[in-house]
Structure 1
Amino acid sequence: MHFDQMNNHRATFRLTLAATALGLAACISNAAGPVQAQLPIVQLHVGEHVVKAELANSDLTRQIGLMNRQNLGKNAGMLFVFKHSETQCMWMKNTLIDLDVAFADSNGVILNIEPMKAGTADIHCSSGSARFALEMNQGWFLKLGIEAGEQLHLPEQAKDTQP
């Protein structure tokens, strides 16, 4: 093989090796998927029950939600605050724990509660115009006898959305 051809093959090999290494690094760094940054915690009441909920009130925090979490505390959840009161839908992509979601209108009245299975692409929607959604461990609402019509009592800081 001529010297110039050998250098061309080495350059191609190095480029291929570098591209492969970068590709593997990207796969490894994204293997677990996105993880939610530390979010503000708000205390709210569902009927007479106290919940400490992480506040997902921006496009990014709502998109990531509880993805890739291994667990959720006993009376802990995530409160999604939407920009507009309309039909809202959720899914469980990259979510590792079974959850229930309670959709609530702009006054905090629960419209419906939907069970959601971890890792599924099933779509779960509000039964009417919702401004809030509260995700809790699966069975939490049922165990406490909380149904549609119950009131979410939200602090004022939990009602605003961010860009």
Structure 2
Amino acid sequence: MHFDLINQYHSTFRFALAMTALGLASCASNAAGPVQSQLPTLQMRVGQHDVKAELANTDLSRQIGLMNRKELGKNSGMLFVFKRSETQCMWMKNTLIDLDVAFADPNGTILNIEQMKAGTSNIHCSSGNAKIALEMNRGWFSTRGIEAGEKLHVPERVLETRE
């Protein structure tokens, strides 16, 4: 007798099972978190080296940063422009690649460079009042001999935040 009930509700059961599977798939696809939408890019220089940088100059673009990216181009990075020149801090939550970050004052002078490990929640802060920060692939600065005191050459108009 119970087989009759199973057959009677078979299509309902299959529908419920399919909807559950779709729901779980949806959750899994969002589990990794947000990915940055297309950002404006700019050409800039770090010392004598050319860099193509994505511009993160809004609250949302700074918050998402390079989260959930699987790679970053050889001479590519992300330039963060903050609202105020003050101590700035970053972490690597949901970031899949190891990065270095150079914190710089409003004149572009690098204050310090921090190495950041993918997926960690360690806090990395500027050693002084930073207005901008440039994230690059891990080792990019050191292999080029770039240290604190070097300049990030950024167009003046870029130092404006949009919020």
TM-score, structure 2 as length reference:
0.85
- State the alpha-carbon separation in 1 of the partners of residues 109 and 85 from structure 2: 12
After the TM superposition, which residues 1-163 of structure 1 pair with which residues of structure 2 at under 5 Å, given as runs? 20=20, 23-163=23-163
Q: Which amino acid aligns with 1:39?
A: L
Consecutive unaligned residues of structure 2, counting only runs of 5 or more, are 1-12
- State the alpha-carbon separation in 2 of the partners of residues 104 and 69 from structure 1: 24
Comparing 68-77 with 149-158, which one deviates more in the overlay? 149-158
Alignment partner of 2:66: what SS?
coil
- State the alpha-carbon separation in 1 of the partners of residues 131 and 106 from structure 2: 5
Identity of aligned residues (%): 75
The answer to whether the 8 A contact 1:43-1:155 is kept is no
Could you give the per-residue CA deviations for residues 128-155 of structure 1, whole angstroms, max 9, x where no partner exists?
Answer: 0000000000101000000000011101
Alignment partner of 1:24: what SS?
helix
Offset of residue 33 of structure 1: 1.4
Alignment partner of 1:55: what SS?
strand
- State the alpha-carbon separation in 1 of the partners of residues 71 and 17 from structure 2: 39
- State the alpha-carbon separation in 2 of the partners of residues 133 and 102 from structure 1: 5
Aligned residue in 2 for 1:4: none
Q: Which amino acid aligns with 2:86?
A: E
Could you give the per-residue CA deviations for residues 88-141 of structure 1, whole angstroms, max 9, x where no partner exists?
Answer: 000000101000000000111000000000000000000000000000001010
Comparing 25-34 with 142-151, which one deviates more in the overlay? 25-34
Q: Which amino acid aligns with 1:99?
A: L
Alignment partner of 1:38: what SS?
coil
- State the alpha-carbon separation in 2 of the partners of residues 21 and 142 from structure 1: 48
Consecutive unaligned residues of structure 1, counting only runs of 5 or more, are 1-12
- State the alpha-carbon separation in 1 of the partners of residues 44 and 99 from structure 2: 18
Offset of residue 29 of structure 1: 3.3
Alignment partner of 2:45: what SS?
strand
Aligned residue in 1 for 2:4: none
Aligned residue in 2 for 1:6: none
Give structure 1 regions of 4+ aligned residues with deviation exceeding 4 angstroms.
Answer: 16-23
